[in-house]
Structure 1
Amino acid sequence: MKTPLITRKGYLKLKQELDHLWREERPEITRKVTWAASLGDRSENADYQYNKKKLREIDRRVRYLRKCLENLKVVDYSSQQENKVYFGAWVEIENEQGQVLELRLVGYDEIFGRRDYISIDSPMARALVGKEEDDDVTVKTETDVKEWWINRIWYDPTDKL
């Protein structure tokens, strides 16, 4: 089960995607399907079949985004979060081998396409929440246990309302 949280930026990005799909892409593909259907035999009409498939994909994504946006809770930055790791935080961590990572704790729907974003539901995020700079963090996964140190915590200033 994923936690239904999202940053303000993440919410606006999903809303923008929904708006683009619904107002621009879907009408364009619908016109193409209508045009291709008017040519006659649909069974061997590649334009019709391709665009019909694309229309189904758009409709599936639109349904997902509508349901998703309806159920998500936007978490805005609060000054009470300063100096501790909470949802939306950027964290620089380091392990014994000197590996340094910069990660941001976000909602599940925000992690795709970003290597530096981790889901609030991940073992790493769960271990980091509530911690402060210079704290040790033990991250337990199904196959391993690793130790990390928190070097730095910050929040994106554009998340402040």
Structure 2
Amino acid sequence: MSKAFTKESDADDEEPLSEPQLPAGAKNYMTPRGYALLKAEFDHLLKVERPQMVETVSWAASNGDRSENGDYIYGKKRLREIDRRLRYLTKRLDDPIVVDPATQQGLEQVFFGATVTVGEEDGSEHAYQIVGMDEADPAAGRISWVSPLARALVKARAGDVVRLQSPSGLREIDVLEVRYLMDSIPPALAGNE
């Protein structure tokens, strides 16, 4: 049978989800900054991108033959991607536990929201903020609270040495400082709450 007469399912070209999944039974912790970023992305997808893509697909469908219509094919694929992301964001924004690091003043131990300065075995120092899974950005010093490093640091105090099993072997990390800083919301998002 010719391929022209077979129905291709929408699921054929879907990619597996790459979004981070919460551990079973875990709560969805996030900082105010992380919540604002996810909410802004949700609003943009729902109010701007999706309506534009629906309009493009509608226009492309009105042009006739859809089997070789690139605008239609790409538009349908992009709509599926947007809808998948909207479902994911809806789940994440459904029941978050927003923890503002600024409200945790005076804590000496490392918990969610802490900014921890550590000393590595090679003498280098790094600062990490423990944040929600969706706002993790290791290059910017924000690590997820479920990451091995964050789990090793939790409940440590300045002056403690923590051990971390890494792919390169056992590492010892000196906890130099524990701070709870104001969680800054990007200025472009500050008015969107």
TM-score scaled by length of structure 2:
0.75
Q: Which residue of 2 aligns with 1:6?
A: 30
Unaligned runs of 5+ in 2: 1-21, 185-193
The alignment partner of 1:157 has SS state of coil
Task: Quickly say closer, same or farther: Cα 1:94–1:14, change in 2 above 3 A.
Answer: same
The alignment partner of 1:20 has SS state of helix
The alignment partner of 2:174 has SS state of strand
Q: Deviations over 1:18-75 (max 9, x none)?
A: 0000000000011000000000000010011111111110000000000111132212
Higher fraction of strand = 1
Among residues 41, 60, 65, which one is paired with 2:89 in the alignment? Answer: 65
Q: Deviations over 1:80-137 (max 9, x none)?
A: 5533211011111012211221111111111157541111111211111111112111
Q: Give me the CA root mean square deviation.
A: 1.9
- Partners of 2:56 and 2:181 in 1: CA distance: 42
- Shift in Å at residue 149 of structure 1? 0.6
1:107 aligns with 2:132: yes
- Equivalences for 1:12-161 in 2 at 5 Å? 12-77=36-101, 78-79=103-104, 82-112=107-137, 114-141=139-166, 144-158=169-183
TM-score scaled by length of structure 1:
0.89
The answer on whether the counterparts of 2:32 and 2:183 sit within 8 Å (CA) in structure 1 is: no
- Shift in Å at residue 142 of structure 1? 6.2
- Shift in Å at residue 156 of structure 1? 2.2
Give the % identical residues: 43
